[in-house]
Amino acid sequence: MLSSLKQILAKQKDILVVIPAFCSYYLLTQHLISFELSEGQSMHPTVKDGELVIVQRALYKIQKGDIIIAKSPVRPDYTICKRIVHLEDEIDPNGNKVPKNHVWIEGDNGKVSFDSKFHGPIPINLIQGRVIY
C-alpha cells in the first residue's frame, strides 16, 4: 500500500513539472516569440521557401519596411508573410490614402505575390508579429 502511494505521488510530481513547462511554452510561443516555417515564393529572395524565421509577437512598433506575419484578409485560415510598404494616411500605389489602422503590404517577389495590390490595405489587427529572423 505504501509503495503504491509513493508511485502515485511520484507521478503527480511529474505532472506538476510538465504543466508549468507546457504553460510557459504556450505563453512564450503565442505571446512573445515563435518560430515559423515559410512557404511559397512571395518574399523571395529575402525569405526563401522553407526557411525558418523568428517572429516577435509582442513589444514591437509597426514600421514601414518591417516584414510581418498576418492572417490573410481573404482566407483567414492562412497566415501570410509580407513587407509593410505604406502606413496609415500614406498614399498607396493606386493614389489612395491608406485608411486609419490599416497598412499596405507587398511581397518582395512582386511577380508571384498576392498582396495589397489585389486586396487593398489590411487592418493592423490582422498582424500577428514581426519577423526578426
Q: Please say whether the beta carbons of 43 and 82 come within 8 A.
A: yes
Task: DSSP letter for 31, please.
Answer: I
Q: Tell me which residue of 95, 97, 96, 104 sits closest to 122, measured CA to CA.
A: 104
Question: Does residue 42 carry a catalytic annotation?
Answer: yes
- Alpha-carbon Rg for the chain, nearest whole angstrom, is 21
Q: Please say whether the beta carbons of 47 and 69 come within 8 A.
A: no
Residue tagged active-site, from 3, 48, 64, 82: 82
Residue tagged active-site, from 4, 24, 42, 100: 42
Q: How many helices (H) and strands (E) does the chain have?
A: 2, 7
Question: Does residue 82 carry a catalytic annotation?
Answer: yes
Show Cβ contacts of residue 34 under 8 Å, excluding neighbours closer than 6 positions. 28, 54, 55, 57, 129
Residues with catalytic roles: 42, 82
